[in-house]
Chain A
Amino acid sequence: MKILVCAKQTPDSTVRVKVAPDGRSVDAAQITWAVSPYDEYAVEMALERKDADASTTVAVVSLGAARAKDSLRQALAMGCDEAILVSGPGAEALEGLGVAKALAAVAQEAKPDVVLCGRQASDDDQGLVGAALAEALGWPHVATVTKFAPADGGPAGSVNGIDVWKEVEGGHEVWRAPGPVVLTVQKSEKEPRYPSLPGIMKAKKKEIPEKDVASLGIGASLPKPEIVKMEPPAARGGGKIMKDGDAKRTAQELARLLREEAKVL
């Protein structure tokens, strides 16, 4: 099975993001970059498949600035087989549908059986690219996926449909999709793996081919909605710590405060 993972580079989730002086962007100077968490789950999910069947190959593609190569190298160090960077002037400014079209061009060339995207990126939380990519490819799409496996049957080595586990309220559904398919990932079975030291050294030596976004023939980009203002969340008021050791008294006091002060009971 051939898997293509789309991974976006976003500010690391442990970084405290600051609004830049222009009031409409993020201060890039303070940021360390990482693979967006849902995309990291997608990488892990692909690698779990590869663990189960060593003949699986996993490619990872990122679209954006040249620094996204570092995130691709991280994915290679985790165990992906190859990486592709789509970059060049205009790549960073591309709106969601343009990104989807560019990734579709990469997918059409790579011919994977499954494309995995995180369900949404941690910077803009738009959740658009995965579904739009399926549309651009004319492939089926399943969302909030937690697991997938090739469906039984068919000659060895061929992919005879994909079984997809998807989270729904209160449980799971198992869907069967004809391949090829685009899946947007909710969570992998295990937490994303740490890159191994040999993996890091191997990844360092790997060539990461770059594609110019202008060469992918995605046509005119759509009008892009613009961010006009960014506001940090309002500062939280100080909490109250109840230090009285007596559990019963503390519980009574807590109930009183919740009713009279917080007015939530």
Chain B
Amino acid sequence: MLPVAGSDERLLADAVAAYARDLAPRIPAAEEAGAIPREVIADLGRLGVLGMTIPEPDGGLGASSVAFALVLEEIAAVWPSLAVGVSVNSGIAEGTIVRLGTPEQKKRWLPRLIDGSGLASFALTEPGSGSDAAALRTTARRDGPTWVLNGRKMFVTNLRYAPVAIVLARVGEMDAHRPHAGITAFLVPTDAPGVVIGRAESKMGLLASDTSPLTLEDARVGADAVLGPQGTAFGAVAMAGLDGGRIGIAAQAVGIARGAIDRAAAYARERRQFGRPIGDFQLVRNALARAQTDISAARLLTLRAAWLKDRGRPFTTEASKAKLFASEMAQRATHVAVQTLGGYGYMREAAVERMARDARATTIYEGTSEIQRLVIARGMLSL
């Protein structure tokens, strides 16, 4: 039992864990194919996972961020590629629509992001703007009753499955002194004219997770596509959305590490060398014990950030700490897991090599480790 998670939250996580465990045999083929099967997304809709954090009046379950973090950990312990898709859909996209959407926008989009017919995208990064997100160049201009968007977004998660993408674009000229001014969020239907989904990226890990570029060529959306107050999206959408998203990535990292170390521990019990299980050797025990302690610490940081979010308290720096620690911890833990399995761990047949590759992304996306340190230090120094 964890100090910040109640029995209901554990109950929900256990139910998802039971489903996720049974997915295991399907993962190698899906990773090979580079796609999450549609019926798995449909299952998550049917199980109520995709809408779990949406308030009940909006058609969800109204579960806590703590419950969601536990659920993401369970999914990631089995299939990290699926966890990041769910995190982006439910943590960032749905969360932003719930927070800032008009009743009409909620009614139009939330049901489609809950029911398992697709997973939503969040399009912030561009070829020239990553960590420096405010330097984005995608533009939006008003044309009578519509908005016309132009620009190019990179590394968009879920794009192939997305009925809608939250796109950040600049309205008006860029002011070099206030680069974040004018940035506005749009709910862009992926079937709108001028929306082009590019070829999926070929990645190091998270192979089944879709990562694609989005090109907007005079893409036209209605006046009702603006999400939140015009010109405020850098803080209200990008930064706030990522704060929540970082809890999701932290939970994903905890899950990956746990999944890998559980496999390593099972192997250390069974594998015999020099006449005894390798788990008898102190060097193996030392590595496993450190990894296990790391995982527990990362989980507590993650759930603490989620717990603060649930109570409406500031959680920006706590989310950054959790994301920083958990993602870097996952590098060490998956390294230990591969090392413990030795030659077998390096082979595709053992899931730990996949988890080591999957873990690598967690120190990069939704804010690199370096950016998390900036956020944490800013909170300390107020400079």
A201–B15 contact, CB under 8 A?
A: no
Tell me if B376 is interfacial: C-beta within 8 Å of chain A.
Answer: no
B18–A200 contact, CB under 8 A?
A: no
CA separation between A85 and B19, bound complex, in Å?
Answer: 27
B8–A194 contact, CB under 8 A?
A: no
Tell me if B4 is interfacial: C-beta within 8 Å of chain A.
Answer: no
What residues of A have a CB within 8 angstroms of the CB of B19 in the complex? 194
CA separation between A194 and B17, bound complex, in Å?
Answer: 11
A197–B18 contact, CB under 8 A?
A: no
What residues of B have a CB within 8 angstroms of the CB of A195 in the complex? 15
B48–A194 contact, CB under 8 A?
A: no
Tell me if B12 is interfacial: C-beta within 8 Å of chain A.
Answer: yes
B8–A204 contact, CB under 8 A?
A: yes
The count of residues in chain A whose C-beta lies closer than 8 Å to any C-beta of chain B is 10
What residues of B have a CB within 8 angstroms of the CB of A250 in the complex? none
Find residues 56-95 in chain A having any chain B CB closer than 8 Å to their own CB: 77
What residues of B have a CB within 8 angstroms of the CB of A199 in the complex? 48
What residues of B have a CB within 8 angstroms of the CB of A194 in the complex? 15, 18-19, 43, 47
What residues of B have a CB within 8 angstroms of the CB of A200 in the complex? 11-12, 15
A197–B49 contact, CB under 8 A?
A: yes
SS class, residues of chain A in contact with chain B = helix
A201–B47 contact, CB under 8 A?
A: no
Find residues 8-22 in chain B having any chain A CB closer than 8 Å to their own CB: 8, 11-12, 15-16, 18-19
Type the 1/0 row for B39-63, where 1 means its CB is closer than 8 Å to any CB of A: 0000100111100100000000101
What residues of B have a CB within 8 angstroms of the CB of A77 in the complex? 15
A198–B18 contact, CB under 8 A?
A: no
How far does the Cβ of A192 sit from chain B's closest Cβ, in whole Å?
11
Which of A77, A195, A204 has the largest number of chain B CB atoms within 10 A?
A195
CA separation between A195 and B46, bound complex, in Å?
Answer: 9
What residues of B have a CB within 8 angstroms of the CB of A204 in the complex? 8, 11
What residues of A have a CB within 8 angstroms of the CB of B16 in the complex? 197
In order of increasing CB-CB distance, the 10 nearest A-B pairs are: A197-B48, A196-B48, A198-B48, A194-B19, A196-B47, A197-B12, A198-B61, A197-B52, A197-B61, A200-B15
Interface residue ranges, A against B (CB under 8 Å): 77, 194-201, 204
Interface residue ranges, B against A (CB under 8 Å): 8, 11-12, 15-16, 18-19, 43, 46-49, 52, 61, 63
**Can you list 12 A-B contacts (CB < 8 A)?**
A194-B18, A196-B46, A196-B47, A197-B15, A197-B16, A197-B47, A197-B61, A200-B11, A200-B12, A200-B15, A204-B8, A204-B11
